[in-house]
Amino acid sequence: MTLHTGTTSATDIPSAAPAAPATSAAPATSTTEEKLGWLVQGLLTRTPGARHALVLSRDGLKLCSSPELSVDQADHLAAIAAGIQALSHGASLQFGDGTGDVRSAMTEFYGGILFIVEAGEGAHLALVTAEEADAGLVGHNMGQLVEQLDGHLSAPPRRT
């Protein structure tokens, strides 16, 4: 399987990533992007109804995406997810506890649901599912993946 990856400043990802299948030609020493890719693929595999997964920076830079997404689709999804998170941040500042922190965002549309959660400092995890997906199970599985990352993934703001 091929994963589209971008550059990430993540430190070593924990070894909780699923092992590559025996038929895989994966090298013995994986890069951070490959480990992250296996974690994202594992999320898709264990989440019924999951169609696409993406890790992105706060400003919408795609860090890693599932292979079902074309490069253009992944970039588009990253921009959408970053926009939703930015709007949610504004709502939290105005109507929440004032910190601007957002636990998660969910957008339900005809034909699917988009879930977005924080996945580390300045990083988010987005998952697109079928509309009949179990939101509780999706949230649980996304939470488990974020726990596996356990702060090892970060996407500091880019300098201009």
Measured distance CA(4)–CA(99) in Å, rounded? 33
Instruction: Tell me the average pLDDT of the chain.
Output: 80
Alpha carbon 13 to its chain centroid, in Å, reads: 14
Residue 50 banded pLDDT, cuts 50, 70, 90:
very high
CB 142 within 8 A of CB 43: yes
Give exposure, 106-125, as e/b (b: 16+ Cβ within 10 Å). Answer: beeeeebbbbbbbbbebbbb
Q: What's the pLDDT at 51?
A: 97
Whether 93 has a pLDDT exceeding 70, the answer reads: yes
CB 151 within 8 A of CB 84: no
> What is the mean pLDDT of the segment spanning 49-56?
95
Q: What is the mean pLDDT of residues 45-65?
A: 94
Query: Which pLDDT tens digit goes with each residue over 98-139?
Result: 888 888 999 999 999 999 999 988 899 999 999 999 999 999
pLDDT attached to residue 65: 92
**Which tens digits make up the pLDDT trace of 8-33?**
333 444 434 444 343 334 443 346 66
